[in-house]
Structures are given as structure tokens and as C-alpha cells.
Amino acid sequence: MTTSLSTRRAKGRAARTRGTGRTTGAGGGHGAKRAGRHLHGGRITYAVLIIFTIGSLFPLVWTAIAASRNNTRLAQTPPPFWFGGNLFKNLQFAWTDANIGAALLNTTIVAGSIAAGTVVFSTLAGFAFAKLRFRFKNLLLLLVIGTMMVPPQLSVVPLYMLIAELSWTDQLQSVILPTLVSAFGVFFMRQYLIEALPTELIEAARVDGASSWRVVWHVVFPAARPAMAVLGMLTFVMAWNDFFWPIIALTQNGSPTVQVALTGLGRGFIPDQSVIMAGALLGTLPLLIAFVLFGKHIVGGIMQGAVKG
């Protein structure tokens, strides 16, 4: 009697355990289904997103509207809020008058070289400051960060004297070489690699006999790829829109970038604002095309670096 009672109790506990397991498994399945579902925002979320989207696109749309009108219509009140019939005429005039084609090629070379140099050199320096051990590392890092506090206007005179001494005035290397690496890029890559690159990975590569350059190529660069994509995008846009130093080092008749070439548009006693807007639209289109083509890869790189595990 006692044995059968004990057996029934054991069977009861086993049944309860199986039932609990089935319940837990079912709950886990529902949890997995819930985790796989898409999250949907409410009406307020969509309204805020629509407002911010309209606010972000309005300057570009207004530039296109102004480029499709004439100077007389732009001077009237209220200003036009829809497209006119002079868009292609103004675009063609701006293209030929400021030689936008050559300026776009020069700007692509300058912005691409600066972005590539900044990404490579900043990643190497960021890796050194993040994972390597050497004397005066913290002091050198403070000096690098300290250069961010120096206004760029203070370096214009000595930099221009150096460029003139090297006979690089009005040549693209005068704009490319001084900005091949940035303190912000070094600090940005250092902060990213501290968390994204495990020290054990580097030590394992060293144990396998990898040299320093092989570690950088096969370990550091793959781990830093998301941050490199973001830094390259930001640097390319900043170099494309840069005006201060190119207007000093380059001329409109030599090898101008887009921003320098646009300063020659709309000349006259009364500047033609519609032609200026047409030139600005031509200078913006390559960036828009680049974002349309590579935006998915850039966002994918950002998400790859943001999601852990």
C-alpha cells in the first residue's frame, strides 16, 4: 500500500513536471512569435515623422522651385510655391557658365580621397590608441583631441604659405593633403574599437603567427567596418560641402570644386538667384544619388555595429 502510494505520487509529480514543461514551451513559442512580429507606431508617431520629413525636404524642394523660376518672380511677394517652366534652361546655363561638369569631377576626387584617407588613417590610429601599449599614449591622445579645440582659421596663413612654397596653389592636392586625417575620426574610431574589438581576438591572431599588418587587415578592419562606413559617409559629405579652405587654395579658372565654382554664378549688378539655385541643385544631386544607391548599405553597417550578439 505504501509502495503504490509512493508510485502514484511520483507519477503525479512527473505529470506536473511534463505539464509545466509543455506550458513553458508553449509560452516560449508565443514569446518567439511576439519577438518576431513587427512593431507598429501610433498615429502620433506617424504624424511627427511626417512633419519632420516635410521639414527636412522643404529646403531641397524650395531650391528646385526657385531654380525653375526667373529672378523677377523670385523677388515678388508672396514667393512661388510651385514649379515654373525655366528649370532645364537655368540648369543648362549654370552647367555651362560655371563649368559644373569639371567642378563635379574635381569635387568627387577631393571628397573621395579625403574620405578614404580619413577612414584608413583614423582606423589605424584609433586601433593604436584603443588596443596597443606604448609610451605617452594618453598624452598623445590628449594632444590629438586638443587639436579639435583650435579654430581652423588660425592655421590658414601658415598653411597657405606652405602650399605656396610647394607650388601647389590652385591644385587639388592643396585641398586633399591637409585634411587626410582628422582628430574627430581618430577619437571616433578609438571609442568604437574599445568596445567592438575584443583583445582576445588580437591575442589569438598573434598566437597564430599573424604580423601586425595582417592583424589590422583580417581582424581590425572587419570589426571596424560599420564605424568606417559611418565615418566615411560623414567625411565625404563634409568634404563635398567644404567652402572655407577651397576658396582660398583654389580659383574659379583653375581646378575649382563645386562650392568654389558656384561663387561665379549669377554675376552682375543684380545676382540671378534662379541661376544660383540651379547651380546649387546641380551640386546637391550627386549626394542625393549616392544616398539612394548606398543608403541601405550605410544603414545596414550602422545597425550591424549597434546590434550585439
Q: What does the buried/exposed string (b/e) look like for 209-246 if buried means 16 or more CB atoms within 10 Å of the residue's CB?
A: ebeeeebbeebbbebbebbbbbbbbbbbebbbebeebb
Residue with cell 552682375: 268
Q: What is the structure's pLDDT at 195? A: 86
Residue 231: is its pLDDT beyond 70? Answer: yes
DSSP state of 38: P
d(Cα 109, Cα 240) in Å, to the nearest integer? 10
Give the pLDDT band (50/70/90) at residue 275: confident
The whole-model pTM stands at: 0.77
Averaged pLDDT, 141-159: 89
Higher pLDDT, 266 or 304: 266
Give the pLDDT band (50/70/90) at residue 20: very low
Residue 245: is its pLDDT beyond 50? Answer: yes
Q: What is the structure's pLDDT at 299? A: 66
> If 0-12 CB within 10 Å is exposed, 13-18 middle and 19+ buried, where does residue 99 land?
middle
| Residue 100 one-letter amino acid | I
- Do residues 222 and 197 touch, judged by C-beta distance below 8 A? no
Averaged pLDDT, 127-148: 90
Give the pLDDT band (50/70/90) at residue 134: confident
Higher pLDDT, 307 or 285: 285
Residue 306: is its pLDDT beyond 70? Answer: no
Q: What is the structure's pLDDT at 27? A: 47
What is the helix (H) or strand (E) element at residue 170, kind and residue range? none
- Closest CA relative to residue 88, chosen from 228, 281, 242: 281
Output the average pLDDT for the chain. Answer: 81
Q: What is the structure's pLDDT at 127? A: 92
User: In whole angstroms, how far apart are CA 16 and each of 2, 10, 11, 209?
Assistant: 21, 10, 9, 56
- Closest CA relative to residue 196, chosen from 232, 222, 216: 222
d(Cα 303, Cα 228) in Å, to the nearest integer? 13
